Structure 1
């Protein structure tokens, strides 16, 4: 690691308020040199959910910790990102947590969740002429993937409104049915504009884009339904953890540092995401996605409109998510869910050794506003 790299990393971390200094970074970085041919490859979708990985790269944090990461590679759909991950075209991804469950238990892939990438950050956006949920009866609503928190929460919200989600079935206003269709996030705004769908549930900044362009309006923030839920997680293959635990620790340290940096200055983070072209959406949409106000919330005390950044994966959420997956309609196999014990799944799917060390290095759970004992109770209310 040369002096320029260390200084760049130190400058990037200046927003952290002295939590980690140049000496600490140098100590980590000089313990090991990563050859250019051995740098980790990270895959992502162009959404604010990927912000910690992107800011870690754009601000030089990966270099400062010695993680050794190439410029992240952009993919357009969750399916293509997962395919690249499984075929080892990329080593690390931010992936929908229910999708990670599917990879582990349906496909038998030896994958591990290392940390939460973010909390909240998604919304149900509808056409501007739709004022209430019952007006979605007889229409199509798009989701980014079947096994996603978007699909899980959307179905709970629809059922609470007296609507029935269906798959591969013509929706009927009289029957109160809503057809669910999978679309890549980039296709959702044009589809809403053309009227081929009545709404979509997706991560930002696609909800912010629809509002700025006056194509749609946010009807409900998903964080206003499931408090501080994890949407995307940092996922790696088990063999990376086994063969290179030092590198994995540096990676998780970098993600945690980037999350803390984003929380400290969201405007600056938006500039990194836009200025370095990690996200193709305009800066006003990215900024808005990171700084929504709290108007129109059902549970204002949850601050569900606000995408959050903290790395710790709570076991209560893993168990609650898997239970919720059982009641979700999808176009595909669900038999694998019967083989999962919600109480054992966290230990099988998540390896939190690295993130616990990262929290300790950054001053403990309180640095991220987390409880000291790292336990919580899930709060879900689709009403």
Structure 2
């Protein structure tokens, strides 16, 4: 992971607030406060919650929870979310305490918690699906990526896991740190915000990343969706709502308020898809053009009929599901074992269930879903090609 200037990060932490004590949560269920005009619970922190995010639609639940006052209504006022340009920067900010809560790549959260012993916990999923493998317009089959370069946002990402699965299915070998030749594809790291420009400049043949970058590439007519990653792994959770361990230990009521607000925000997003893009761009959270961002929430299936192999999975649909299922974490660990990664993987436990127990604390979101009257559905992992 790229080394960031610790002093700079701590200055960021100072700007967005210092840690403080816990006060009393009101007796009313915070999930009821779905709109900012409703009566609000007593504050559960005597400072604002500090949120970090990347400008992608995966961050929607956290951003909507802040912007529409759902966090404040749950008793957890939040400072304006801080935008980061790369996953390394966001992870470092969480690691040193510059922010309290983020949406974080699930594989990266695993690496930080199990591999680097960073004190963090996944407390909910922020979304499902919402990522694509996007390629230049001259590519019509995966085999045509032979000898080319693909950009990934992080080695520890579902994007890398599923892209490599697709490459192997096509008889191609992903390589890192060496130029691609016949039968191989060079994987390179690139910040999501740089990927569309890289595709336009032809320095890469494609990228796998969260939206809205596929929609931006389509709008600019420089690339197209080759596969929705939700068409490779049904309703996978790319990112999860992740907090510092000390927030769980010292301020559990704040974590409860956070998951209450996230569940409320997800419901709002699901019911207001035609409004979500304008809200996120209008508030300045996402810098991409509003039509591209709005497309992510309202994508029609018909234009993608030729690239979707599992239409019953609805892979083109950005989904909102908060409960972090054990089966998903276990399957993710198993997938990571066969993924080419530039880094140490020996920390992955032999028993994948141990990884889930170490990483995930589902108590709070379980309560949030129960209070909201939302049943926790059973789940079976569907991974195709």
Query: What's the TM-score once normalised by structure 1's chain length?
Result: 0.89
Q: Does 1:376 align with 2:379?
A: yes
Deviation at 1:21, TM superposition (A): 6.8
Contact 2:153/2:189 (8 A) holds in 1: yes
1:283 lines up with 2:283 in the alignment: no
- 1:92 counterpart = 2:112: no
C-alpha distance in 2 between matches for 1:30 and 1:54:
20
Residues 33 and 322 (structure 1), Cα distance of their counterparts in 2 relative to 1, 3 Å cut? closer
Residues 33 and 248 (structure 1), Cα distance of their counterparts in 2 relative to 1, 3 Å cut: closer
Cα distance in 1 for residues equivalent to 2:374 and 2:140: 44
Higher mean alpha-carbon deviation, 278-287 vs 342-351, is at 342-351
Q: Which residue of 2 aligns with 1:248?
A: 255
Equivalent position to 1:167, from 167, 173, 176? 176
- Cα distance change, pair 241–307 in 1 and its aligned pair in 2 (3 A): same
Query: What is the distance in 2 between the residues matched to 1:376 and 1:24?
Result: 36
* 8 Å CA contact 2:43, 2:76 repeated in 1: no
Question: Which of 62, 70, 87 matches 1:61?
Answer: 70
Mapped to 1, the partners of 2:135 and 2:220 lie a distance apart of: 13
Q: Is the 2:131–2:208 contact (alpha carbons within 8 Å) kept by the matching residues of 1?
A: yes
Determine which of 210, 218, 222 is the counterpart of 1:211: 218
- Say which of 341, 348, 361 aligns to 2:371: 361
- How many residues in Structure 1 have an aligned counterpart in Structure 2? 351
Unpaired runs of at least 5, structure 1: 1-17
The Cα of 1:61 is off from its aligned counterpart by: 1.0
Cα shift at 1:327: 0.5
User: Which contiguous aligned blocks of 4+ residues in structure 1 show a shift greater than 6 angstroms?
Assistant: 21-24
Structure 1: distance between partners of 2:237 and 2:196: 24
Q: Indicate which of 235, 239, 252 corresponds to 2:242.
A: 235
- Displacement of 1:344: 2.1
Q: Is the 8 A contact 1:171 1:178 kept in 2?
A: yes
Q: What do you get for the CA RMSD once the two structures are aligned?
A: 1.7
CA contact (8 A) 1:260 1:310 kept: no
For residue 331 of structure 2, the aligned residue among 314, 320, 331 is: 320
Structure 2 distance, partners of 1:188, 1:153, is 18
Q: 1:226 is matched with which residue?
A: 233
Equivalent residue number for residue 15 of structure 2: none
Between stretches 267-276 and 255-264, larger displacement belongs to 267-276
* Displacement after TM superposition at 1:341 (Å): 2.1
- How much does 1:170 deviate? 1.0
Secondary structure at 1:169 match in 2: coil
Q: Determine if contact 2:44/2:253 at 8 Å carries over to the other structure.
A: no
Q: Specify the alignment match of 1:12 in structure 2.
A: none
The unaligned stretches of length 5 or more in structure 2 are 1-30
2:125 to 93, 108, 116: 116
**Separation in 2, partners of 1:243, 1:33:** 11
Q: 1:136 to 1:23 in 2, by over 3 A?
A: closer
Give the SS at the match of 2:352: coil
Residues 99, 148 of structure 1: 8 Å contact kept: yes
Structure 1 residue matching 2:80: 3-state secondary structure:
coil
Taking the aligned partners of 1:67 and 1:168, their CA distance within structure 2 comes to: 45
